[in-house]
């Protein structure tokens, strides 16, 4: 099955199941952790998750609303 990677924060878990249902002939995969902000998400990307496949049909990345929240 062609793989689709959904990588992001907790909001991406909400649409993960819709994507999985919409593409039954694809292997839809989600990251194992909450990516939170874009910066934090990039730090948390597990290369093993990405390198587990030779290629992906689609990779989505989102940080939801985390990036608009000021962190002090």
Q: Which of 59, 63, 32 is nearest to 45 (CA)?
A: 32
Sign of CA dihedral 51, 53, 56, 60: negative
Q: How far apart are CA 25 and CA 65, in angstroms?
A: 31
6-32 mean pLDDT: 90
Q: How confident is the model at residue 45 (pLDDT cuts 50, 70, 90)?
A: confident
pLDDT confidence of 4, banded at 50, 70, 90? very high
What is the distance between the alpha carbons of residues 26 and 35, in angstroms, rounded to a whole number?
A: 23
pLDDT band at 71 (very low <50, low <70, confident <90, very high): low
What is the three-class DSSP state of 55?
coil
pLDDT over 90 (residue 18): yes
pTM above 0.85, yes or no: no
Is the Cβ–Cβ distance between 72 and 19 less than 8 Å? Answer: no
């Amino acid at each position: 099955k062609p793989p689709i990677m959904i990588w992001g924060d907790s909001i991406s878990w909400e649409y993960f199941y819709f994507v999985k249902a919409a593409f039954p002939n694809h292997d839809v995969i989600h990251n194992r952790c909450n990516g939170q902000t874009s910066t934090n998400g990039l730090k948390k990307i597990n290369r093993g998750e990405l390198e587990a496949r030779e290629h992906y049909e689609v990779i989505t990345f989102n940080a939801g609303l985390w990036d608009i929240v000021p962190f002090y």
